[in-house]
Structure 1
Amino acid sequence: MNRQERSGPRQGSFWRDNSLTLAFGIAFLIVLVGQAVAGHAEFNEQLTVDGLQQLSLGQYVTSSDFAVDVTENWQSEFLQFSLYIFGTVWLVQRGSPESKELHKVGTESDREQRMGDHATPDSPRWAGTKDWRQGVYARSLGLVMGGLFVLSWTAQSITGMAAYDEQQLRQLQDPVGWGGYLASPDFWNRTLQNWQSELLAVAAMVILSVYLRQRGSPESKPVGAAHTSTGVEG
């Protein structure tokens, strides 16, 4: 046995070991800035058409109009992952690496999940407990994702109401308030058009990964894996 095998996998640099999170985080910030610049230009064009004074970029990014555009996308993304996390506990797709193996439907045993007496020395500390901490930690990912969905959905509804009421006042109409906005077509049009796109993307990924491959990606099966292989990642 050589030195590397005895000491375990060699640690790389911080940037390499966290490159997936860092790359997507940086890309998120770049795209968010791009959205702010493009949205600012479009918003000022509309203000000019309405004969109103234009806003600075700083005023725009702190406005309800920018906030609702951002939060309506966030809430749909967190909804997608929340549904997927909870749904894949009980739902399966034969042949997809996005699904667990067909015989593992459900929450699985403590042994399979390495909980309680079956926890290993490197298991998270709460996984080895036998009280409420284990129950919370065993559902922590779904709870946090669900909580982020609720928070972003609430933020969308509040900022959307503010933007909608502002538009109402520009047109010399009465504001509708939060309850009225939740019942308005504007709110549900914004919400449902995002939800349907996220659900379509998940369904497409699940079924296409049965028959198509991407070499080296954990989201794909190995290139030579059978179409019927389920829960196998490449």
Structure 2
Amino acid sequence: MRWIKENSLALTFLVLFLLAVAGQAVAGLFHYNDEQTAQGGEPVSLWSYVASSSYAVNVAENWQSEYLQFFLFIVLTVWLVQKGSPESKEPGRAGRESDEEQRVGRHADPDSPRWARAKGARLWLFSNSLGLVMGLIFLLSWLAQSVAGHAAYNAQRLSGLRDPVTWGSYVTSGEFWDRSLQNWQSELLAVLSMVVLSIYLRQRGSPESKPVGAPHASTSVGG
């Protein structure tokens, strides 16, 4: 029970994620079969739909936009600040900070991760591991979206008696970028809203908010 309590935030989001993925699969199946029937095709089973390019492209395009959001936010907040936002470092502290501030090398604490005491490539890799992994997941999700979207797009073209297109033609097409930019703009707007609204609004007890009584101009302060 203690382990569950200490990891309750991650576990809750994991359960919500699984429920959302399952719900998307069921809702997507109904929509897909409705279109199949309207076009004179045969409905498919849930497992056939989940294994299809139509389902894969819908999942992947959302994943890549989410990880793009996290990657940009992690990297840009190293150098850019927003006065008054708890999501930003204080003005004047932009940059990678000193080894002492980051507690690496000879400044590491006794309980610091082992790689925080390393030097050279290992220290660089660990120091940038969060951004690198988020960026890698974004690239892999983007690739998965492009491959699945290419297959789904060609299936639509063939059903309309049109010739299929190459992967290169698909990723430079309006179809691909319309799907991508629809998601990107919503994620970027969400980050902008969080950064700006957290200057003036509060959520008592949340580390994503400043304390209720904190001045609007206070920066990098969690509640």
What range is the shorter-chain TM-score in?
over 0.9
Residue type at the aligned position of 1:225: A
Question: Which of 42, 50, 68 is equivalent to 2:57?
Answer: 68
Please, which of 106, 126, 129 is the counterpart of residue 137 of structure 1?
A: 126
How many aligned positions are there?
223
Aligned to 2:89, which of 80, 97, 100?
100
Alignment partner of 1:104: what SS? Answer: coil
Runs of 4+ residues deviating >6 angstroms? none
CA distance in structure 2 between the aligned counterparts of 1:148 and 1:70, rounded to whole angstroms: 13
1:176 maps to what in 2? 165
SS at match of 1:103: coil
Residue 205 of structure 1 aligns to a residue whose secondary structure is helix
Is structure 2 residue 8 aligned with structure 1 residue 19? Answer: yes
Sequence identity, in percent? 60
> What whole-Å deviation, never above 9, does each CA across 1:162-191 have from its counterpart, x for those lacking one?
000001110111111211101111100000
What does residue 190 of structure 1 align with? 179
Distance 1:64 1:181 in 2: 14
Tell me the residue number matched to 1:203: 192
Q: Aligned partners of 2:122, 2:142: CA distance in 1, in Å? A: 28
How far apart, in 2, do the equivalents of 1:177 and 1:38 lie? 30
Secondary structure, aligned partner of 1:223: coil
Alignment map for 1:143-182 (pairs within 5 Å): 143-182=132-171
Aligned to 1:7: none
The answer to whether residue 218 in structure 2 is matched with residue 229 in structure 1 is yes
1:114 is matched with which residue: 97, 103, 106? 103
**Residue of structure 1 equivalent to 2:115:** 126
Q: How far apart are the structure 2 equivalents of 1:105 and 1:206?
A: 16
What does the per-residue CA deviation read over 1:28-70, in whole Å, with 9 as the maximum and x for residues that have no partner? 0001000000000000000011001111111000000000000
Q: Which runs of 5+ in 2 are unaligned?
A: none
Equivalent AA in structure 2 for residue 113 of structure 1: Q
Q: Give the deviation of 1:217 after TM superposition.
A: 0.2
CA distance in 2, matches of 1:82, 1:202: 12
Structure 1: state its 5+ residue gaps.
1-11
Please state if 1:212 is matched with 2:201. Answer: yes
TM-score normalised to structure 2 length:
0.99
TM, length-normalised to structure 1: 0.94
- Structure-1 separation of matches of 2:136 and 2:121: 19
CA distance in 2, matches of 1:186, 1:207: 32
- Equivalent residue number for residue 89 of structure 1: 78
Corresponding letter in the other structure for 1:87: L
Q: For structure 1, which segment, 83-92 or 123-132, has the greater mean C-alpha deviation from structure 2 after superposition? A: 123-132
- Letter paired with 2:161: L
Shift of 1:101: 1.2
What per-residue deviation string (whole Å, max 9, x for no partner) do you get for residues 1-38 of structure 1? xxxxxxxxxxx711100001000001000010000000
In the aligned structure 1, how far is the partner of 2:216 from the partner of 2:77?
A: 19
